[in-house]
Amino acid sequence: MNIVVLIKQVPDTWSERKLSDGDKTLDRASSDAVLDEINERAVEEALKIKEAGDAEVTILTAGPDRATDAIRKALSMGADKAVHVNDEAIHGSDAIATAKVLAKAIGTVGDVDLVLAGNEATDGRSGAMAGMLGELLGWPSLTHANELTVENGTAKAKRETDEGTSDLEASLPAVVSVGEKINEPRYPSFKGIMAAKKKPVTTLGIADLGLDASEVGLAGSLVQVDSFAPRPPKSGGQKVEDEGDGGAKIAEYLVGQKLI
Amino acid sequence: MAVDRLLPTDEARALIELTREVADKELATRVDDHERGDGTYPEGLFRTLGETGLLGLPYPEEYGGGAQPYEVYLQVLEELAARWATVAVTTSVHGLACFPVATFGTEEQKQEWLPRMLAGELVGGYSLSEPHAGSDAAALRCRAEKDDDGDYRITGEKAWITHGGKADFYALFARTGEGSRGVTCFLAPGHTEGLTFGRPEEKMGLHAVPTTSATWDGGLLSADRRIGDEGQGLPIAFAALDSGRLGIAACAVGLAQAALDAAVDYANERQTFGKRIVDHQGLGFVLADMAAAVDSARATYLDAARRKDAGVPYSRQASVAKLVATDAAMKVTTDAVQVFGGAGYTRDFPVERYMREAKIMQIFEGTNQIQRLVISRHFAR
């Protein structure tokens, strides 16, 4: 089986995240960059399929030079090889333009059976990539999977929502996005880190994908950031004196917020 | 704040990064749960460390080790100790327990045991001390009697075994003859008929991993479990301890670094007399002395490690490192409690634990008095 795992390098959620004043895109220099945690779960799921049977796991990312660190991390966990789409023209792409790039890049990997992704990145949070890719590739997309089994040419996923649980099933090839609860990702091993250095990473520009600069980047995007403002600082909140009726007052507040 | 380390290779940098990730997620999050009260054993943790490759770092790749120089391995131990001293000490002891097979074992013995030991599938303890033979190891009495098949029957009492009762194997030293040339080293399985462990000691710190005595009542060890020659035991034990005490020096520095970091954080928050206590010179100088002690202790163990890596004698430097680093840890952790004031004396903050953990570092793997003895012997002409 041929599995592609989409990964994304994101600003560390613990560091201050900013947009740049110029073109209103992510200011990558202002924060530490890490492999998005949800991607580690997607990689783990691919590795589990590989260990249960036979699969080749290819990591795919679109990102600048330093995204190689995120690729190395995924390779050190045990993936076999990687494709890195690195082109200045992609800078500023919205979700749809990014999906176009990734769909073309998936096409370079050969006969792909399964594309795995996280359900939502911690930076852009569009949560739409798996659906968009399914559309562009003409494949079914099973999103927000908290359980996944792949056998006999079929992917079965369990999706949990506030309303209930859905059992999803699709024939391969398919796109699956995974949720937080799907697994606990392994740590890379020291040997895995050493081995990752020797694994092949193919670097592609958009020309290699048959795309034109006008189709991607800020120019090729339907969505552009018009203005932005930092989140206002937390206000002091509401203080309630407990005069023996503290419990009731807390309940009143929660009811007011429609939390209970 | 992460220690700014000068590391020799990209490989080492990646290893330290991995260690910090694992230590932050697996050690720092669990340490309080397992160290509180009498302590609970962190089931599965050493398996995880083994899977990530952290339990075989200073040993050759061909047996599954990480082939790292001591200079790098010790800094990994330091990072572990800064989160959880017990785990770092137990990791160091595991390395000590692997030493006899890795260094004095036959090719067959290495092939048979080392890969599982270095992968952490088998975690080891070290069993040299006895109730009346601690610093004076040559006074040990536990006997190994050879039977007609060439196997050995072990009879006697052992003491102060880190990981006792939990480890999968022990580097065991027992007497096959008289005098200092009458001790022999064995690789004893953790579960052997005739081997029982005492009730875990009630310790001042390092609560999460038991320290026990052991009673050998005629337990049988097959001939292939003898490491080295009969009578070679004490030289093996002391060679292991030379490298083992470097491990303890690194653990002590990690502990001291953690105490310094906690004290610096607190001194930047706590206000007295209208300013942060870090801005009071009297307190700032305490922090400066703590930092100087941590840095100099680290430099001392790194010097000894580089000598070992270069293949030149390092026994004296290892003893200096153990002495300097553990005394520094005692002083720095005590001062950290002082920086915290009354709060530092409570279990709401980690510094009282650091102070309790530092004390044992001055005692085990050769008391600091023994280190002085080792050092001063180098001066006798």
**Within a 10 A sphere around the Cβ of B200, how many other Cβ atoms?**
18
To the nearest whole Å, the CA of B58 is away from the closest chain A CA by 13
Q: What is the ipTM of this complex?
A: 0.82
Give the start-to-end residue ranges of the domains of chain B: 10-118, 124-232, 235-377
The boundaries of the domain holding residue A165 are 2-215
pTM as predicted: 0.86
Task: Kindly tell me if the per-residue pLDDT of B218 is higher than 80.
Answer: yes
* Calculated CA dihedral for residues A102, A105, A109, A111, nearest 10 degrees: 70
User: In this complex, which of A186, A188, A194 lies closest to B11 when CB atoms are compared?
Assistant: A194
pLDDT of residue A54: 86
Q: Which fold has domain B124-232?
A: Butyryl-CoA Dehydrogenase, subunit A; domain 2 (2.40.110)
Residue A16 has pLDDT above 90, yes or no: no
Which token pair is B111? 């092939």
Mean pLDDT, to the nearest integer, of A36-60? 94
| CA distances for A42 relative to A49, A87, A121, A203, B159, angstroms | 11, 24, 12, 21, 48
Cβ-defined contact of A190 to B18 (cutoff 8 Å):
yes
Is 1.20.140.10 the CATH number for B235-377? yes
pLDDT band at A240 (very low <50, low <70, confident <90, very high): confident
Residue of A nearest to B22 (CA): A187
Q: Which residue of A has its CA nearest to B17?
A: A190
pLDDT higher than 80, residue B239: yes
Query: Domain with A161 in it: what CATH number?
Result: 3.40.50.620
Region A69-95: mean pLDDT is 93
pLDDT tier for residue A27 given thresholds of 50, 70 and 90: confident
Radius of gyration of chain B (CA): 21
Name the interface residues of B facing A (CB cutoff 8 Å).
Answer: 11, 14-15, 18, 21-22, 48, 51-54, 57, 66
- Provide the b/e sequence for A218-236 (b: ≥16 CB within 10 Å): bebbeeeeeeeeeeeeeee
Cα A205–Cα A209–Cα A215 angle in degrees, nearest 5: 85
Question: pLDDT-derived band of residue A29, with 50, 70 and 90 as boundaries?
Answer: confident
What phi, psi does A175 have (nearest 5°)? Answer: -110, 130
The domain at B10-118 falls in which architecture? Orthogonal Bundle (1.10)
> How far does B265 lie from chain A, in Å, by closest CA?
18
Asked if residue A163 has pLDDT above 90, the reply is no
Contact B15 A186 (CB under 8 A): no
CB contact under 8 A, A193 and B18: yes
Q: Which residue has the tokens 């999906």?
A: A99
Question: What's the pLDDT score for residue A237?
Answer: 79
Q: pLDDT tens digits, residue range B106-140? A: 999 999 999 999 999 999 999 999 999 988 888 99
| pLDDT at A231 exceeding the cut of 90 | no
Chain B contact set for A186 (CB, 8 A): 51
The residue among A152 and A29 whose pLDDT is bigger is A152
Cα–Cα distances (Å) from B19 to A156, B14, B28, B188, B256, in that order, read 36, 9, 12, 30, 18
Measure A201 CA to nearest chain B CA, in Å: 19
In tens, the pLDDT along B35-45 reads 998 899 999 99
Question: In this structure, are strands B183-189 and B169-175 parallel, antiparallel, or unpaired?
Answer: antiparallel
User: Is residue B365 among the annotated active site residues?
Assistant: yes
pLDDT digits (tens, 9 = 90+) for B55-107: 999 999 999 999 999 999 999 999 999 999 999 999 999 999 999 999 999 99
Asked if the model's pLDDT at residue B47 lies above 80, the reply is yes
Which residue, among A112, A55, A54, has the nearest Cα to A83 in the 3D structure?
A112
Interface contact A190-B51, CB threshold 8 A: no
Whether residue A30 is predicted with pLDDT greater than 80 in this model: the reply is no
Task: Provide the token pair at A250.
Answer: 């807390």
Q: Does residue A183 sit within a domain? A: yes
Q: What's at B381, amino acid-wise?
A: R
Average pLDDT over residues A217-223: 88
**A260 or B95, greater pLDDT:** B95
Average pLDDT, chain B: 96
Compute the average pLDDT of residues A236-247: 84
pLDDT by residue (tens digit) across B154-210? Answer: 999 999 999 999 999 999 999 999 999 999 999 999 999 999 999 999 999 999 999
Number of domains in chain A: 1
In a domain, residue A85? The reply is: yes
